[in-house]
Structure 1
Amino acid sequence: MQKKFVPVMITPFNLKARIDLGMVEQLIDFYLKAGVKGFFANCLSSEMYSISEDERLELTRHVVNYVNGRVPVVATGSFGLTIQDKAQFIRNIHDTGVDAVIMITGHFANVDEPDAVLIDRFHQMFDLTGDIPLGLYECPAPYKRVLSAGVLKTLLDSNRLIYHKDTSCEVDSVREKMAVIDNPKFEFYDAHTPNAVDSLRMGAAGMSSISGNFYPEILVWLCNNAADPSKAEEVAWIQEELRRVDPLIHIAYPMSAKYFLQLRGIPVRTISRAHVLELTPQQKEVLQGIQRDFRGWCERLGIREAAPSHAL
């Protein structure tokens, strides 16, 4: 099975801090040129908690329309105070044309509530959403609810799930979850770049990490080559490079990604609703160093950098 890199899309804003839909299109062109095989719109990287309900729908609909079937699009939909509210928004997001609606695990039980409550609420949601294709997302906010393999197996038995974005950041946890998956239509994506090679070799459908908002070409290359014995040396080397820089790109994210894309010639503004502080000169210097590293990675691996859409 071909492994797929699916970026968690950032949201560009204009000078009035409104969504810049024209720049969304430029970003989609850039991601596609880099070789991505899908999009996760309206996610934490998209600053989904900092935009309104109408904006979530507008953004998702625009992504779906512009992508126009070239690759699948998924988006988060489990917003609302009650299960009924969440179900309605899931229906609204589904109506934008996405291929699956993703549910945040932390939206279905409070941090101190047991898994039995979580499972019961998910089953209520399944009953309220007909045959809408659904997925799971262990989003870090409002808190990170990492599923056990047993809970995942119970939810998979509903036959309603086709997608999972894992943020356990633990290889053993990924291995345990992979062992309970027996549905070929269910796709497991790891969000943790340092796990990439292990997860891909264990059978993950692909990766869906924030690093794709910095250097998607590298993640695409890794997805394509992680299991190739002839590329084992290069795979091990780039995995270590990605592991080295991964903590650095998380600092001041998603502002860090927007600045990095500027360094790459993509005119996305460093405006964020989620991170309101300007990047420090030291932070910019670190990102400039990673940009130089990225060019060296491309040279060694024979990767052609994706050009900004205005330069195509």
Structure 2
Amino acid sequence: MFSGSIVALITPLNQDGEVDYQSLQNLVEYHIEAGTDAIVAVGTTGESATLTVEEHVKVVNKTVQFAAGRIPVIAGTGANATHEAVTFSRLLNDSGIAGCLSVTPYYNKPTQEGLYQHFKAISRVSAVPVILYNVPGRTGVDLKPETVARLSKLENIVGLKDATADLSRIAEHRELCGKDFILLSGDDETGLEFVKQGGNGVISVTNNVAAKDMATIYNLAKQGKFDEAETINQSLVGLHKGLFVESSPIPVKWAAYHLNLIQQNHLRLPLTSLSEQSQQVVKAALEQANLA
């Protein structure tokens, strides 16, 4: 369930700043048709930091409704306050999600013991499997492999999304956490190599606009056909980089709108629209990937 090509789904908004549920439904259908393995709803790419609690829960519930059991939905439930992350888990326990993805608390910069206690509290109230999410570049804190190992011993903490791009951690996590612990890359540029070295898949930004190619790449990887997978992946290298030319999800939202995958291209402050200069970078990457 938690392997292969998983999309970190954007949250489409209209010009009034409200969630565009028609575009959200269209995105879910797009990913089902493309063969995406699972959807992460309202993760970092889904602008979780700017949605209200009520909106957050509604977007997850609507994504589950639109998916209708055809594709697993993983809910982003992270927060920088433990009580808030616990609340998200409680509110979504009966929503039909397959699991939850919980990011390390941002800005607070807790100790490793603080991180352990944070995720332990979440695991106690979550009725679904929990995937840890480590992205030091955005949170200011690094969940160390030794702490991941401690957490892996808790009953329903089943995996890790690692966005450090540090491939040396794969073997370390595997040794410390065991062969059944799920390891997912959170970095598109190194995602295929991550799987080649023993990871289970990728939670991807690129997947938002190149879903069919990403599904093919990671299906081939599952079969050990890494040379064939790499051939396709090479056409997406520019996109893997270009979608981070400005803070994500600014570029990927522009790209999704440019490809008519969403009806409007809007974000919430403090995020602003993609600059004209950066638009050219993303457009060139889409062309290189034969998407535009």
Same-fold status (TM-score > 0.5): yes
Q: Secondary structure at the match of 1:7?
A: strand
Q: 2:74: which partner in 1?
A: 74
2:290 aligned with 1:295, yes or no? yes
CA, structure 1 residues 254+123, in 2 after alignment: closer, same or farther (shift >3 Å)? closer
Which runs of at least 4 in structure 1 moved beyond 6 Å after TM superposition? Answer: none
CA, structure 1 residues 130+221, in 2 after alignment: closer, same or farther (shift >3 Å)? closer
Instruction: Please list every run of 5 or more consecutive structure 2 residues that lacks an aligned counterpart in the other structure.
Output: none
Say if 1:148 and 1:177, in contact at 8 Å, map to a contact too: no
Q: Distance in 1 between matches of 2:182 and 2:239?
A: 27
Q: 1:100: which partner in 2?
A: 99
**Cα displacement string for residues 267-290 of structure 1 (whole angstroms, at most 9, x for unaligned residues):** 431101156433333222222212
Say if 2:132 and 2:160, in contact at 8 Å, map to a contact too: yes
CA, structure 1 residues 263+120, in 2 after alignment: closer, same or farther (shift >3 Å)? closer
Q: 2:108: which partner in 1?
A: 110
TM-score (norm 1): 0.83
Matches within 5 A, 1:125-144: 125-127=122-124, 129=125, 131-139=127-135, 143-144=139-140
Say if 1:263 and 1:291, in contact at 8 Å, map to a contact too: no
Say if 2:189 and 2:241, in contact at 8 Å, map to a contact too: no
TM-score (norm 2): 0.88
Say if 1:135 and 1:162, in contact at 8 Å, map to a contact too: yes
Q: 2:265: which partner in 1?
A: 270
Q: Distance in 2 between matches of 1:147 and 1:175?
A: 16
Q: 2:162: which partner in 1?
A: 166
Q: 1:88: which partner in 2?
A: 87
**Which residue identity is paired with 2:70?**
R
Aligned length, in residue pairs: 291
Matches within 5 A, 1:141-160: 143-160=139-156
Say if 2:45 and 2:205, in contact at 8 Å, map to a contact too: yes
Q: CA deviation at 1:229?
A: 6.2
Q: 1:242: which partner in 2?
A: 236
Q: Distance in 2 between matches of 1:231 and 1:75?
A: 30
Q: Distance in 2 between matches of 1:20 and 1:100?
A: 24
Q: Distance in 1 between matches of 2:234 and 2:270?
A: 28
**Cα displacement string for residues 117-163 of structure 1 (whole angstroms, at most 9, x for unaligned residues):** 32233333334x16442221124586143322221111011122123
CA, structure 1 residues 288+243, in 2 after alignment: closer, same or farther (shift >3 Å)? closer
Moved more, 53-62 or 153-162: 153-162
CA, structure 1 residues 124+255, in 2 after alignment: closer, same or farther (shift >3 Å)? closer
Instruction: Please list every run of 5 or more consecutive structure 1 residues that lacks an aligned counterpart in the other structure.
Output: 297-304, 306-312
Instruction: Tell me the percent identity.
Output: 18
Q: Distance in 1 between matches of 2:84 and 2:260?
A: 41
Say if 1:258 and 1:268, in contact at 8 Å, map to a contact too: no
**Which residue identity is paired with 1:67?**
A
Q: Distance in 1 between matches of 2:59 and 2:136?
A: 21
Q: Secondary structure at the match of 2:100?
A: strand
**Cα displacement string for residues 51-85 of structure 1 (whole angstroms, at most 9, x for unaligned residues):** 1000000100000111011121111224474x444
Q: Distance in 1 between matches of 2:268 and 2:242?
A: 21
**Which residue identity is paired with 1:96?**
S
Q: Secondary structure at the match of 1:121?
A: helix
Q: Distance in 1 between matches of 2:279 and 2:10?
A: 19
2:43 aligned with 1:48, yes or no? no
Q: 2:197: which partner in 1?
A: 202
Moved more, 222-231 or 146-155: 222-231
Say if 2:43 and 2:101, in contact at 8 Å, map to a contact too: no
**Which residue identity is paired with 1:125?**
I
**Which residue identity is paired with 2:200?**
A
Q: Distance in 2 between matches of 1:266 and 1:167?
A: 26
Q: Distance in 1 between matches of 2:97 and 2:78?
A: 14
Q: Secondary structure at the match of 2:143?
A: coil
Structure exhibiting the larger radius of gyration computed from Cα positions: 1
Q: 1:189: which partner in 2?
A: 184
